[in-house]
Amino acid sequence: MIAVALGAYLLAVLWHLVYLVRAARSAPPREFASMSIACGLVWLPIALGWATWLVATGRMADLGDVTAPLLAGAAAQILFGAMSFLMPTVMRGGPAAVRAGMVEMNRLAAFRLVLVNAGLTVFLAPGGTSWTRVVGSLLAFVGFVLFLPVMIRAVRAQLRVIRAAAAAREAGEKPARVTADTARAEIAPGRRRNLVGALAALLVAALATGTVLAVDPSSPLRRTDGSAAVTPTGNTTTVEVVAVGMRFEPSTVTVPVGDRLVIELRNDDETTVHDLYLANGVGTGRVEPGETARVDVGVVGRPVEGWCTIAGHKAMGMTFDVQVEGDDPAGGGAGGGVGGAAQDPRAAGHDGHSGAGDDAASPTDAIDVLSPPSDDVETRDPVLPPAPPGREHRVSLTVRETTDELAPGVVRPVWTYNGGLPAPTLRGRVGDTFVVTFRNEGTIGHSIDFHAGDVSPDEVMRTIPPGEELEYRFTVKRAGAWLYHCATAPMSGHVAAGMFGALIVDPPELPEVDREYVLVQSEAYLGGDDEPFDMDKIAARRPDLVMFNGHATQYRRDPLTARVGETVRIWVVAAGPSDGTSFHVVGGQFDTVYKEGAYRLRDGRDAFGGSGGGAQALDLAPSQGGFVEMTPAEPGRYVFVDHSFADAEKGATGFLDVSD
C-alpha cells in the first residue's frame, strides 16, 4: 500500500510538472526564485521515484538514502526559492524598494544553485567514498549558507530605498515621475552573468572532488590492483554489526561481488567506546556506548579487512572481515571493487603500528638511556612522606589522557590518574579506610583496582565511560606495598600506558628511618607517535623501556640522596604489566628485606632467629611489592638497578648519592 501511495503521488507530481515545463519553455526562469524552485521540482520526482522503488522491492531499511534528495534537493530549494520572492514582497515599500530587494536576492544566483546541485550530485554519486560525500555535503552546505549574506544585503538595500522615500516625503519632495524611458536596475541577472556563475561553481566542485579522489586511499583513482574494473550491480547490501565484549558480531559478512556495502555498527558495550575501520580507508569514527553509526564501504569486489582502532582492541579480537561471493560479470573477478589491506597503509600493522618484523630496528636502538631527561621534564619526587593523620583518607583520582616524556626525546601519549606517571602514591596504616572518588575524564572507558582493598570487584572495579564517576571505599586490613591499576581490557595495554600506582600500608610498629623513598617499576611498549602502546610488543614481552617512576633516566640526572651512616628505606612495587624486578643497589647490602607483607630479614635476623644475614636483591613478580633497608658506610655514587640487566639497559637504573 505504501508503494502504491508513493507511486500515485509521483504520478501527480509528474502530471503537474508537464504544465510547468510548458510555461518554462515560453518564459525560461532567470531569477533565483524561479530557478531554485525549478531545481527543487526536478529533485522531487527523483526522490519520490527512488523511495517508491525501495518500498516496492522491500528495502525499507535503505529509505534513509532518500533523505538528501528529498530534503536538501527538493524541500530546501523550493523553500529558499519561495523566500527569495516573498521576503522583498512582504517588506513592501513601493515598487522601487521591492525591486532593490529583488536585485540583491538574485546575486550569485547561478553560482549558488549550481554549487548546491553539484554538491548533491557528488554526494549521491554511486561508488563514492566517505570523503566524496563529505565534499558533496560541504558544497551544498556552502551554497545554502550563501543565502544568508544575500538576504541581509537585500534587506539593507530595500530599507535604504524605503528610508530615502520617507525622508523625501518629510522634505516635501515629490516622487520622481516614472516613465517607459526611466532607467531601472535589471532584477534578473543576464545570461552571461548566470553562465559565468554556473561555470565558476562547476569548477569549484570539480576541483574539490578531484582533489579528494586523488588523495583518498579508497578512491578508484588510487586503486592499483584492478579494483576499478568491478561492475557495480546497483544493489546495496546493508548489514547490522554489534560491538560487544571485545568482539564484532558477526565478525564476517559475505557480500555479492559488485554490491555496495553499508554497515550499521551498534555499540552494545555499556562503558567502552568502539569503532570500525576498514582497510580501504573508510570507518565509522568512535561510537559511544549505546549509539549506532553507519559507514558506506562502497562497491565491494574483493575481501576487505576491518578492525577496531581503539588502542589494544584489535589485539583483544575486535577484527572484522568482508568476504565476496560470485564473479564480476565484466571479468574483474574478485580482484575488483573495494579491496583489502594493500590499499591502505594503516593495514600494514595493527592499531596504527608499522607491522615491522623481528628484524626491524627497535625504537630502543635510537634511545640514549644514559642521557638526562629534557630540560622541561620535572623529576618525579621519590621521597615517601609519612602516612597522613586520621583513619579515613579521602582521595580523588581522575583519568586524564595526556602526553609525557618517557626517556630523553621519547614523548608519547599516556593514560594517567591525575595527570602524572605513575599515579599518586598513597599511604596509610592497617585499619585505615580509603574513600576514593574515581572520575573518568578520558575518551574511552577506564576503571581502577586497588589490590589493598578486600572487596567485591563487581561494583567498584567496573569500567565507567567518559564523564562518569564512582566511589570506591575499602578498609586496608593487611600491611604491604600494594599495586593499584586500571582493570579495563586489555589490562596489559592500560597499565603499559601509565594507569598504575602504589598504596603503601605500613607494617605495625614500622620504625622511622632517616631516608624513605618509593620506586614503582614499569615497562613501556612504544607504538607510533600517537599510540600509547603496541599490543604486538606486549604480547611478545618485548619492552622498549623499563622505568622507575615513569621515566627511564630521571634519577641519573637527579639522584636520590643520603649521608654516611643513615638508614635508607626504599619501597619498590613492580607494576609490570608483564615483568617483575630484581632490585639491587651496586655497592650496597640490605640488612632488612620486607616482601609481600612479611619480613624476610629484619636487622640481619631471618624468620628462624638466625642473625648476621644480608640480602643483595629484592625479587618481585609483577604486582608484588616490598622494601629494603641499607646503611651506606662510605660516601660515593651508588647505582640502583634492576639486576635483570636487559631491563637495566632499557632504563631501569638510577643513582643514590651518599655524602659525608
Binding residues: 446, 451, 485-486, 494, 499, 643
Hey, which residues does 524 pair with through a beta bridge? Answer: 545
Q: In angstroms, rounded to a whole number, what is the distance separating the alpha carbons of residues 121 and 115?
A: 10
Please write down the long-range contacts of 505-510, taking CB distance under 8 Å and 24 or more positions apart: 505/427, 505/428, 505/429, 505/430, 505/432, 505/452, 505/476, 505/478, 505/479, 505/480, 505/481, 506/387, 506/427, 506/428, 506/429, 506/430, 506/479, 507/430, 507/479, 507/594, 507/597, 507/599, 508/430, 508/479
| Residues 438 and 462: beta-carbon distance below 8 Å | no
| Residues 654 and 556: beta-carbon distance below 8 Å | yes
Q: In angstroms, rounded to a whole number, what is the distance separating the alpha carbons of residues 534 and 490?
A: 12
Binding residues for Cu cation, as ranges, are 446, 451, 485-486, 494, 499, 643
Closest CA to 576 of 535, 498, 521: 521
Hey, which residues does 397 pair with through a beta bridge? Answer: 438
How many C-beta atoms lie closer than 10 Å to residue 164's C-beta? Answer: 14
How many C-beta atoms lie closer than 10 Å to residue 300's C-beta? Answer: 30
Closest CA to 325 of 303, 305, 297: 303
| Residues 484 and 503: beta-carbon distance below 8 Å | yes
Give residue for cell 502530471.
15
Q: In angstroms, rounded to a whole number, what is the distance separating the alpha carbons of residues 331 and 335?
A: 9
Contacts of residue 14, defined as CB under 8 A and 6 or more positions apart, other chains included, come to 45
Whole-angstrom Cα Rg for the chain? 36
Give residue for cell 625504537.
363
| Residues 485 and 554: beta-carbon distance below 8 Å | no
Closest CA to 450 of 468, 418, 425: 425
Element (H, E) at 335: none
Amino acid (1-letter code) at residue 421: L
Q: In angstroms, rounded to a whole number, what is the distance separating the alpha carbons of residues 12 and 177?
A: 48
Q: In angstroms, rounded to a whole number, what is the distance separating the alpha carbons of residues 235 and 329?
A: 14
Q: In angstroms, rounded to a whole number, what is the distance separating the alpha carbons of residues 494 and 233?
A: 45
Q: Is the Cα dihedral 520, 522, 527, 532 positive or negative?
A: negative
Angle at which helices 32-56 and 109-124 cross, to 10° = 10
Closest CA to 349 of 102, 536, 140: 536
Phi, psi of 400 (to 5 degrees): -135, 130
